[in-house]
């Protein structure tokens, strides 16, 4: 029986109102009918990231696709500079987000030899259109804060994932794990002295912890690459999108930025 156009229109309006802005596939999937078995994470290990002292949550390991992580690792290792890395990311098919409505890969912006690397969560709608991270409202606030801290030309900005999660949902650990070798390669090529982890999804993933951002922010952690070859001080802070919703929290984020600049500009200890 053909659907009543008014009912379809009303249903679509309901979905839009509820925040749905993308369809994954042409046909619906009844996941309840598939049963709980199909929803269980695959029990595989992720060779993507090293622990940083705190125990890695089992969930992260279980959800990663080892084939995708290995392919990302190979593709990232072949990139000899940031231009090649951007091309390798754009050509990479191992992150599920690429097939969930994103227009393009969003890699990075900023100084290629920056002493600070800012790592956000993932591209949003504006980033998806413009092809650069943190260019929407949250990005403008981030830029203002970085400028006020004297960091404008001293940052390289990227995300834990390179494709916009549909509806701006938080990227899953599996999606972050698939992109992690590219993030690590970016760190190896830029060689920043410090990492600033913007928001809970970034901090939890990069530090492999399940602690919340309010417990993590403003404290120094040691980030370590998967092979242990790179180690960097990392400072979690509040995400600028959160600050737009909770302006009273800006004070805390500002304290974090001051902590970062203090360490960045601290004279080296005499040897």
Residues of this chain that bind ligand URA (CB under 6 A): 120-124, 127, 133-134, 136, 138-139, 159, 199, 241
CB of 159 to ligand URA, least distance (A): 5
Per DSSP, the three-state class of 244 is helix
Rounded to 10 degrees, the C-alpha dihedral 230/231/233/237 comes to 60
Q: Which residue has the CB atom at the shortest distance from ligand URA?
A: 120
| Tokens of residue 227, six digits | 């092979």
Cβ(155)–Cβ(118) below 8 Å: yes
Give least dist CB 102 to ligand URA, A: 12
Residue number, 61 or 240, with CB nearest to ligand URA: 240
Nearer Cβ to ligand URA (96/127): 127
Residue 90 CB, shortest distance to ligand URA, in Å, is 16
Q: Give alpha helix (H) positions in 78-160.
A: 82-91, 125-130, 137-148
Minimal distance, residue 212 CB to ligand URA, in Å: 17
Q: Which is nearer to ligand URA, 116 or 241 (CB)?
A: 241
Instruction: Please give the C-alpha separations between residue 186 and each of 76, 84, 156, in angstroms, as whole numbers.
Output: 9, 11, 10
**Is the Cβ of residue 133 or residue 173 nearer to ligand URA in the bound state?**
133
In this structure, what token pair is assigned to residue 46?
């992720």
């Amino acid at each position: 029986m053909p659907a009543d156009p008014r009912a379809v229109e009303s249903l679509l309006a309901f979905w839009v109102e509820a925040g749905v802005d993308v369809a994954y596939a042409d046909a619906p999937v009844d996941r309840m009918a598939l049963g709980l078995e199909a929803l269980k994470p695959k029990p595989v290990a992720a060779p993507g990231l090293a622990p940083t002292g705190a125990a890695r949550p089992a969930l992260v390991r279980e959800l990663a696709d080892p084939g995708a992580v290995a392919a990302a690792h190979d593709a990232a290792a072949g990139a000899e500079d940031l231009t090649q890395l951007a091309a390798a990311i754009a050509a990479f098919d191992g992150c599920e987000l690429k097939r969930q409505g994103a227009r393009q890969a969003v890699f990075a912006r900023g100084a290629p030899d920056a002493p600070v690397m800012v790592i956000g969560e993932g591209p949003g709608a504006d980033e998806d259109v413009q092809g650069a991270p943190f260019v929407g409202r949250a990005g403008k606030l981030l830029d203002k804060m970085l400028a006020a801290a004297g960091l404008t030309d001293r940052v390289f900005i990227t995300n834990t994932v390179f494709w916009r999660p549909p509806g701006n949902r938080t990227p899953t650990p599996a999606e972050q794990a698939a992109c992690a070798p590219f993030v690590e390669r970016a760190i190896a090529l830029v060689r920043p002295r410090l990492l600033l982890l913007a928001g809970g999804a970034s901090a939890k993933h990069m530090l492999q912890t399940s602690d919340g951002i309010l417990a993590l922010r403003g404290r120094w952690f040691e980030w370590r690459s998967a092979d242990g070859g790179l180690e960097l001080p990392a400072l979690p802070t509040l995400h600028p999108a959160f600050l737009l919703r909770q302006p009273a929290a800006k004070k805390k984020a500002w304290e974090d930025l001051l902590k970062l600049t203090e360490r960045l500009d601290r004279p080296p200890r005499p040897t």
